[in-house]
Amino acid sequence: MANTFTVLKTDAEICTRIQELAAEISAKYQYVTEENPLLVLCTLRGAVFFAADLIRALTVPAEIDFIKVHSYVGTRPMGSPIFDLGEHIAVKDRHVLVVEDIVDTGQTMATVMQNFADKGAESIQICTMLDKPSRRLETCKNVVPAFIGFTIPDLFVVGWGLDYNDKYRLLPDIMEYHPDSEES
Ligand code: 5GP
Ligand code: MG
């Protein structure tokens, strides 16, 4: 059986939605200043294209930095995310917007938010390109992204930064993906 891909969101739909999200975020963060700009933390590697387009469309002062998270092998969560939470990033008293590709069980974002809360961030919100709320763990029900590109059902998706074992990140559309067999 061959691998199958089904288009879920086209590049054009995603680009339009990013502009809308940037307007929503800019409206929400009117109060940030050049002295204390919005700190956009992009999760590597999946959210890199999303964050790059999003931050350039903001109309409020913003800075970008990066954290590394990885919690999927094949189409299954590994359980415990691996983090490089960027210990060098000073978040104390900052308004932090974590930009994620997709929120699934919520474990990754729960850990990230706890970490930055512990480090004294003034505020922490999540902006995610995709949300799969039906997959949220009971223990992660408090993970509610403030900004969501698209809410989707329980599907495994690739493209627009999202990978399957490091493949398919560069696909221009977001596709539902059915591997013919799990390689992991
Ligand atoms: P969570 O910790 O919320 O379960 O997982 C979040 C991470 O798992 C995402 O940042 C993403 O890297 C990965 N992930 C979750 N669902 C999908 C999916 O449908 N496709 C891909 N490619 N990665 C996913
Ligand atoms: Mg991710």
95-108, pLDDT tens digit by residue?
999 999 999 999 99
Give me the mean pLDDT over the 134-162 stretch: 96
Neighbouring C-alpha atoms within 13 Å toward the C-beta of 85: 17
Q: Which ligand is closest in space to the CA of residue 80?
A: 1
Instruction: Give yes or no for residue 162 CB within 6 A of ligand 1.
Output: yes
User: How many whole angstroms from 64 Cα to the centroid of ligand 2?
Assistant: 16
Enumerate residues 6+ apart whose C-beta is below 8 A from 75. Answer: 156, 164, 177, 179, 182
Nearest-CA residue for ligand 1 atom 13 is: 72
| pLDDT at 77 (0 to 100) | 65
Tokens encoding 146: 């403030």
Confidence (pLDDT) at 1 = 59
pLDDT at position 83: 65
Torsions phi, psi of 166, nearest 5? 75, 5
Complete domains list, the chain, with CATH? 11-153 (3.40.50.2020)
What is the DSSP annotation of 97-129?
Answer: EEEEEEESSSHHHHHHHHHHHHTT-SEEEEEEE
Nearest to 56 by CA among 101, 12, 8, 15: 15
86 CB-near residues (< 8 Å, 6+ apart)? 41, 65, 66, 67, 68
Confidence band for 2, pLDDT divided at 50, 70 and 90: confident
